[in-house]
Amino acid sequence: MIRRRTLALDRFATFVAGLVLLALGAAAVAWWGGWLQQLWSRTPDELTLRTASDVLSASWWPATAVVGGVVLGLLALWWLAAHRTHRSTGPVRLDGSGPGGQLLLVGTAAVSAAAGQLAEARGVRNAKGRFGRDRGQLVADLQAVVDPAADLDAVADEADRALADLAVVLGRPDVVARVRLVVAQDSRPERRVE
């Protein structure tokens, strides 16, 4: 889950970087055209590397480079950690929890049971489920592989039944359910033991 705050910070940083690049590009064009001299009287006529070599030979440069590198490295690690997607979630709190105790449910087990129920439907080869957070919202995600000749209306009805049972088990109206049906590419016959 990438938090909204992280997305907002990304957008802001991208906007600032865009403005800086736009300003540098406009300054380069103005310097090349000679217009920058009219705005800033100390504009150099040509750029040399002498100033850069003076900075690199200064006594304060090594310490500044180390501190800058450490700060940039820590910012990079924070940025990577903030963008790590972790969709799974631990036990969720159920209605009825109070000061005397908490009722917790492992959502992955409930979603796996719903996937098992869906896998029993005629025309479904297999099904799997995940339970986690997506942009701050609890999501029960089922995916089923169906035969090409399967009756998709019947499979959809079975998916609705599995989700209805899952909603009863979870008892949380804030959980969003998502079902994805993937049609198998080959048309091997369905094997079912009765």
Note whether residue 2 is domain-resident: yes
* 62 and 21 within one domain: no
pLDDT at position 22 is 95
Mean pLDDT of 111-130: 92
Residue 27 in this model has a pLDDT that exceeds 70 = yes
- Ranked by mean pLDDT, the top range of 90-99, 116-125, 181-190 is 116-125
* 135 and 104 within one domain: yes
For residue 128, what is the domain's CATH number?
Answer: 3.30.70.1350
What does the pLDDT look like over 70-110, one tens digit per residue?
999 999 998 888 777 655 566 777 666 667 667 777 778 88
pLDDT at position 193 is 47
* 39 and 69 within one domain: no
Note whether residue 80 is domain-resident: yes
Tokens of 128: 């799997």
* 120 and 159 within one domain: yes
- How large a percentage of the chain has pLDDT more than 70? 85
* Alpha helical stretches, state H, 35-188: 36-39, 50-56, 61-82, 107-119, 152-170
| pTM listed for this prediction | 0.51
Residue 20 in this model has a pLDDT that exceeds 90 = yes
* 118 and 146 within one domain: yes
Q: Give the Å distances, CA to CA, from 134 to 4, 86, 116.
A: 11, 9, 23
What does the pLDDT look like over 127-168, one tens digit per residue?
999 888 777 788 888 999 999 988 989 999 999 999 999 888
End-to-end CA distance of the chain: 42
Note whether residue 23 is domain-resident: yes
pLDDT averaged over the chain? Answer: 83
* 169 and 105 within one domain: yes
Number of separate domains in the chain: 3
* 37 and 20 within one domain: yes
* 104 and 151 within one domain: yes
* 152 and 121 within one domain: yes
* 152 and 71 within one domain: no
* 56 and 43 within one domain: no
Note whether residue 192 is domain-resident: no
Closest to 179 in 3D by CA, of 147, 146, 151, 149: 146
pLDDT at position 66 is 94
* 170 and 109 within one domain: yes
Note whether residue 139 is domain-resident: yes
Domain that holds residue 68: 52-85
Note whether residue 175 is domain-resident: yes
pLDDT at position 189 is 55
Higher-pLDDT residue of 138 and 1 is: 138
- Give the span between the Cα atoms of 173 and 158, in whole angstroms: 20
Note whether residue 37 is domain-resident: yes
Note whether residue 146 is domain-resident: yes
